[in-house]
């Protein structure tokens, strides 16, 4: 079966957006680590409204949530591809997966730092 590319700018973009939304929904509804990060993002958003954070704080908080969710998605894709290519344990596949998980760790540490910078002064 040959892939038929949509040459229309508008309908092509609309299809791209629909694929992206479908992927985001799959990510949030099937991956436990993403479910946890999504829940934390919702809690932080509610907390932001409750504590009336500034526009600048909203920008950093939104960026941090988006960063973590995006890197989690990339990590999940790397893991799924690695498992598809080599379903059994393999040291090199494990190394690749560990690196992808390390990227999530850096994003999460960044988000935690941003959260602490925004919220600790509000509770002191």
pLDDT tens digits, residue range 40-81?
999 999 999 999 999 999 999 999 999 999 999 999 999 999
Residue 61 and residue 118 in contact, taking contact as beta carbons nearer than 8 Å: yes
Residue 102: phi and psi, rounded to 5, are: -65, -35
Q: From its phi and psi, is residue 52 left (phi > 0), alpha (psi between -120 and 50) or beta?
A: left
pLDDT over threshold 70, residue 116: yes
Task: Report the C-alpha gap between 74 and 115 in whole angstroms.
Answer: 22
**What is the pLDDT averaged over residues 32-43?**
95
Task: Report the C-alpha gap between 62 and 38 in whole angstroms.
Answer: 12
Percent of the chain with pLDDT strictly greater than 90 = 85
pLDDT value of position 13: 84
Q: From its phi and psi, is residue 15 left (phi > 0), alpha (psi between -120 and 50) or beta?
A: alpha
The reported pTM is 0.84
């Amino acid at each position: 079966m040959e892939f038929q590319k949509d040459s229309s700018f508008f309908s092509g973009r609309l299809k791209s957006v629909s694929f992206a939304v479908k992927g985001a929904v799959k990510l949030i509804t099937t991956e436990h680590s993403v479910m946890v990060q999504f829940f934390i993002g919702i809690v932080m958003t509610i907390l932001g409204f409750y504590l009336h954070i500034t526009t600048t704080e909203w920008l950093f908080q939104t960026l941090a949530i988006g960063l973590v969710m995006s890197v989690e998605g990339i990590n999940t894709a790397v893991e799924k591809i690695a498992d598809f290519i080599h379903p059994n344990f393999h040291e090199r596949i494990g190394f690749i997966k560990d690196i992808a998980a390390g990227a999530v760790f850096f994003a999460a540490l960044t988000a935690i730092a941003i959260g602490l910078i925004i919220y600790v002064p509000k509770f002191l």
